[in-house]
Amino acid sequence: MAETTETNGQAPVSTLPRSSVRYADTSLLRTNFADTIVEIKEALGEITIIAKRDGLLALLMHLRDEPKLRFNYLADIGGVDLGEFAEPRFAVAYQLYSIELNHRLRVKVLIEEGDATVPSACGIWKAANWLEREIYDMFGIHFDNHPDLRRILMPADYEGHPLRKDFPLKGY
């Protein structure tokens, strides 16, 4: 349990470190996936792996199955539109968590607007199904080999992708 201290009538303040969640050791990944990993960034205590689309599924399966990592929980997949003038325009970010080892990791894939496809992670984590459908619906990013890639939030006949930065505020 977190210890707290009272401070002059203000809300209690925790005396534990700011974050008790650990971040995975990624030192071996640099050598094992040199062709897939573009960069490993650490900022504000968080680790992000920037990966290429080619080799992404092998990297994700390794992160799930490696005994020292065991990222058995896909917490979220998020789509990002970096803007129509950015190169590359889109990113897909996988938020991974190891329940057993209590550590986190983000894997990000940057993709071009003209070829906005990423391999589906549904075969690795079943939770990827709806998350990938949401990204497809909101950003128009396709997921290769997805079992049921169709709109999930917007009507089936809706035109456009509402979370793209070039989408008009009032729609088309």
Question: pLDDT tens digits for 63-82?
Answer: 999 999 999 999 999 999 99
Angle at 55 between CA 151 and CA 130, to 5 degrees: 20
Q: List the single range of 56-70, 99-113, 155-169 with lowest mean pLDDT.
A: 155-169
Residue ranges of the domains in the chain? 17-144
| DSSP secondary structure string for all residues of 64-125 | HH-TTT---EEEEEEEEE--TTSSS-EEEEEEEEETTTTEEEEEEEEE-STT-EEE--TTT-
Among the listed residues 148, 120, 151, the one whose alpha carbon sits nearest the alpha carbon of residue 138: 151
Query: In angstroms, what CA-CA distances link 129 with 105, 106, 154?
Result: 20, 18, 16
Q: Is residue 171 scored above 70 in pLDDT?
A: no
Query: Which class in CATH covers the domain with range 17-144?
Result: alpha beta
pLDDT of residue 9: 55
What is the average pLDDT value for the chain, to the nearest integer?
88
Average pLDDT over residues 79-104: 95
Q: Which tops the pLDDT comparison, 9 or 97?
A: 97
